[in-house]
Amino acid sequence: MKENQKTKTQQPTELSKLYKQVSATADQDQIEEQLRMFMCVVEQNPTSILITDVNGIIEYVNPMFTEVTGYSFTDVVGKNPRLLKSGHTSTEDYAALWRTIKSGKQWQGKLYNRKKNGELFWETISITPVINKMGVTTHFVAIKEDLTYRKLVEDTLEKERRLLRAVVDNIPDQIFVHDRECRFVLNNLSDARVIGVNDPALLV
């Protein structure tokens, strides 16, 4: 009789152990599934992703990084991102970047970097510190987007705008364009002078 009671009291304990083992396995499977999902997002991301340790040593880059820069995974792992430096960013700007991320804050900006083949390119960068439960920064994650084409379009539009302004301002007759609410969209120097303004841009 006592033996039966002992067996009954042992059953919940054994079931509890088994439940914990199954739960641990389930949790592990869930964690692994989440990791696979996150890895897929990173690997397939259309922007460049670079991860470094707290000293700035590269631990990971995604395929888009290698596509944009020409550097393979093995080219950069264990190296410092300074291999992308073009010499067009001041030491002070880099120091400000490091001060920001070392303080646990996110840094955002544009850098003019160099690809493996020597080609220069603009990219917008967001660098975020990875902070553990103890409040200690363990890594930095950089999300980078190649701005070369966008910058080229912006520069081309700016050149065309300046050319148009030069042509319009050299026409002696008054030229002006209003929108439906009678706001200036365009006017030349001659029109501005009649109104009493030296700079047509002040009227637009």
CATH code of the domain containing 83: 3.30.450.20
Domain that holds residue 161: 152-202
In a domain, residue 103? The reply is yes
Least confident of 28-37, 91-100, 120-129: 28-37
- Please indicate, yes or no, whether residues 103 and 77 belong to a single structural domain of this protein: yes
Residue range 56-72, pLDDT digits in tens: 999 999 999 999 999 99
Least confident of 43-47, 58-62, 108-112, 138-142: 43-47
Using pLDDT thresholds of 50, 70 and 90, give the confidence band for residue 39: confident
DSSP the chain: -HHHHHHHHHHHHHHHHHHHHHHHHHHHHHHHHHHHHHHHHHHT-SSEEEEEETT--EEEE-HHHHHHH---HHHHTTS-GGGGB-S-S-HHHHHHHHHHHHTT--EEEEEEEE-TTS-EEEEEEEEEEEE-TTS-EEEEEEEEEE-HHHHHHHHHHHHHHHHHHHHHHT-SS--EEE-TTS-EEEE-HHHHHHHT-S-GGGT-
- Please indicate, yes or no, whether residues 158 and 186 belong to a single structural domain of this protein: yes
Question: What does the pLDDT read at residue 106?
Answer: 97
